[in-house]
Structure 1
Amino acid sequence: MIVYSVSINKELVNLMIGTTISRQHENFRQVIQSYYQLTKPRIIPLLLITTAAGMWMASEGQVDPFLLLITLVGGTLAAASAQVLNCIYDRDIDYEMLRTRSRPIPSGRIQTRDALLFAIALGSASFTLLAVFANLLAALLAMSGIIFYMGIYTHLLKRHTPQNIVIGGAAGAIPALVGWAAVTGELSLPAWLLFAVVFLWTPPHFWALALMIREDYAKVGIPMLPVVAGEESTTRQIWVYTLLVVPASLLFIYPLGVSGVVYGAIALVLGSIFLQKAWQLLQSPTNNQLARGLFKYSILYMMLLCTGIVVDSLPITQQLSTALADNLQTLVSAIPFLPFPV
């Protein structure tokens, strides 16, 4: 018994020493990198481009550079805060899934308490920055995004219903409202349409990813649609939402009239490719390569669609479009009228 006790104590001491050595050899750069990874930085740029699109559309292409910088930084801080809180809440399933096990919290590089303080600091900085330099509405919307993402999506929906990403998609669409509100101090119909486009785009985007990693979700009991309903049902839902988002993206042209021919051409081309990829996946629901292709394209689709909004709203684009329309009208009026024979 004594020998066994000594052996156990030696193992505990060695474990404590090993942990101490590991922490002593973790340099400042590695600590910063761990906190950076905690914010899931690859997700944030896609949120910011919808913010920028909202700002450019609201300002008719004449955005105040300082306000743009403040809003994007504030949006980055809010999104980072939400992602850190998500990492804290999902630390148990992150440890179980192979692709997420190396994240800072499940790997032990960052303690839960430290991550929580980091999230609070990020959220507070976001609210202060937006409230002081933009307006209170933009700041409150950014905070509502954090609350919705954590309270509604992560806590209530993610682990309990296969429709989690549908309703939870509202959290990812809020940055578009933040951008519009930062410029105008209010929310009008075009802002809500941009919100709706992002909202409808989210299920095809995320379910394509879920098809690729359905086994991971099944392992930890997350009822993502491919796990609960299977690939065929998921691809049908992807097709339906793609059919909804593409026409919705054209409503900026008519009846709202806030975007013009340049955006229209971009939206039509992008939408046609989106529909084609969704249709191909519908014909072959178990093809992970098609799911991967749709997932990657959905990111490109949203980025280029928002870029189209920005480009179309620029004064120089508006001037060129007007000049082109005038010249076309002049050309048509110069064509002699040839009456049909009676």
Structure 2
Amino acid sequence: MTAVIDPARPPAETPSVQAQPAVARGFGAVVRGYVALTKPRIIELLLITTVPAMFMAAHGVPPLFTAFATLIGGTLAAGSANVLNCYIDRDIDQLMKRTSRRPLPQGLISPRSALIFGLVLGAVAAVLLWFTTNPLATALSIGANLYYVLIYTLLLKRRTAQNTFWGGICGAAPVLIGWAAVTGTLSWSAWAFFGIVFFWQMPHFWALAMRFKEDYAAAGVPMLPVVAKPMRVAVEIVVYSWAMVGASVALWAVGMSWIYGLVAIALGGWFLIDAHRLFIQVSRGERIRPMRLFHVSITYLTLLSIAMTVDALV
């Protein structure tokens, strides 16, 4: 994520994979396997940004039915995209230690069953959002899922080191979906929040990719830390971290109070210190600890989202 990688290599040229032995298929294990395919931890991060977007759009507590339906529909939609991602990436998942114990590489769930499961989740999500929110929120959800599966997973992930950048569009989409579900429109505040989450994804995922670079290299995935020198990765992490903090200040300028502003500046300073710490470690040839920044990024986004919600309520 130190072999030489050809970023233009299509998915069909992924190194051959030896089948994994099937694991026990008890009912409980299979149910847990289906849940694991949806990648619940990723869904949690998406919901962390959807909730404050709805509160901000409503300038307080959003309509409870709309909020509940949006969260359920968003969970199903994100789960669908993640399941289909697991289906498409089942070959390279077997090659990476970090993902080799997922249900498909382990033989717990068949590829056909996973494909059907993912498509059904997506269809149910679209129908639910259509009847409980509005056309804009539904269209944004469907568009984000199609982009993630068709553009990011099938077209970009195995072909370009900029996969994380372009994939950041669908990763930040829940902000717009939550906002649109409440108002039926999108404002400058919604786009500023979108920018925060979009730029946040580069330091977040590239820190993780630095830690698991060998995994991505073995699977032939040209993540930036695989194909670029550590210094370039560190520089880009710093650049996008500053862009993220800039977007957080822009959100303050277009519609938030001093409550959010003070928290955004404090959290942004904390994040930038850690991003620059990683840069210094790389520039000095020291042992790098990218997972520190990875965990800081999760805490940052969580606390910033809480600050947005509190600001909207106050």
Query: Please, what TM-score do these two structures have when normalized by structure 1?
Result: 0.83
Distance, in Å, in 2 between the alignment partners of 1:104 and 1:35 is 8
Distance, in Å, in 1 between the alignment partners of 2:286 and 2:146 is 36
2:152–2:167: 8 Å Cα contact kept in structure 1?
yes
Distance, in Å, in 1 between the alignment partners of 2:133 and 2:263 is 31
Q: Partner amino acid for 2:56?
A: M
Distance, in Å, in 1 between the alignment partners of 2:155 and 2:143 is 16
Classify 1:288/1:116 alpha carbon distance in 2 versus 1 (closer, same or farther; 3 Å).
Answer: farther
Distance, in Å, in 2 between the alignment partners of 1:269 and 1:103 is 38
1:51–1:179: 8 Å Cα contact kept in structure 2?
yes
Distance, in Å, in 1 between the alignment partners of 2:258 and 2:186 is 24
1:238–1:278: 8 Å Cα contact kept in structure 2?
yes
Confirm or deny that 1:77 pairs with 2:76: yes
Distance, in Å, in 1 between the alignment partners of 2:311 and 2:262 is 10
1:95 CA displacement: 0.7
Question: What do the CA deviations read for 1:5-30 (whole angstroms, capped 9, x no partner)?
Answer: xxxxxxxxxxxxx97xx66xx33211
Confirm or deny that 1:274 pairs with 2:279: no
Q: Partner amino acid for 2:46?
A: L
Classify 1:101/1:186 alpha carbon distance in 2 versus 1 (closer, same or farther; 3 Å).
Answer: same
Distance, in Å, in 2 between the alignment partners of 1:232 and 1:283 is 10
Distance, in Å, in 1 between the alignment partners of 2:213 and 2:133 is 41
Counterpart of 2:122 in structure 1 is 123
Task: Report the structure number with the largest CA radius of gyration.
Answer: 1
1:98 CA displacement: 1.4
Distance, in Å, in 2 between the alignment partners of 1:116 and 1:49 is 27
1:222 CA displacement: 0.8
Distance, in Å, in 1 between the alignment partners of 2:45 and 2:296 is 13
1:157 CA displacement: 1.1
1:263–1:308: 8 Å Cα contact kept in structure 2?
yes
Counterpart of 2:260 in structure 1 is 263
Q: Aligned runs of 1:321-340 on 2, under 5 Å? A: none
Q: Partner amino acid for 2:276?
A: W
Distance, in Å, in 1 between the alignment partners of 2:129 and 2:268 is 34
2:278–2:288: 8 Å Cα contact kept in structure 1?
no
Equivalent residue for 1:284, pick from 243, 261, 281: 281
Counterpart of 2:308 in structure 1 is 309
Q: Report percent identity of matched pairs.
A: 47
Counterpart of 1:164 in structure 2 is 163
Gaps of 5+ in 2: 1-20
Counterpart of 2:293 in structure 1 is 294
Distance, in Å, in 1 between the alignment partners of 2:60 and 2:139 is 24
1:289 CA displacement: 5.5
* Superposition RMSD in Å: 1.4
Distance, in Å, in 1 between the alignment partners of 2:65 and 2:161 is 41
1:49–1:303: 8 Å Cα contact kept in structure 2?
yes
Of structures 1 and 2, the one scoring higher in RCO (CA 8 A, sep 6+) is 2
Q: Partner amino acid for 1:53?
A: P
Confirm or deny that 1:174 pairs with 2:168: no
Distance, in Å, in 1 between the alignment partners of 2:205 and 2:286 is 16
1:34 CA displacement: 0.7
Counterpart of 2:14 in structure 1 is none
2:281–2:288: 8 Å Cα contact kept in structure 1?
no
Aligned length: 292
Counterpart of 1:333 in structure 2 is none
Counterpart of 1:186 in structure 2 is 185
Counterpart of 1:32 in structure 2 is 31
Counterpart of 1:12 in structure 2 is none
Q: Partner amino acid for 2:272?
A: L
Gaps of 5+ in 1: 1-17, 318-342
1:62 CA displacement: 2.3
Classify 1:287/1:211 alpha carbon distance in 2 versus 1 (closer, same or farther; 3 Å).
Answer: farther
Query: Please, what TM-score do these two structures have when normalized by structure 2?
Result: 0.90
Question: What do the CA deviations read for 1:244-303 (whole angstroms, capped 9, x no partner)?
Answer: 11021011221x1x2101101111111001000000000112666631110001011111
Question: What do the CA deviations read for 1:37-69 (whole angstroms, capped 9, x no partner)?
Answer: 111111111101111111111000121122111
Q: Aligned runs of 1:221-240 on 2, under 5 Å? A: 221-240=220-239
1:196 CA displacement: 1.3
1:207–1:226: 8 Å Cα contact kept in structure 2?
yes
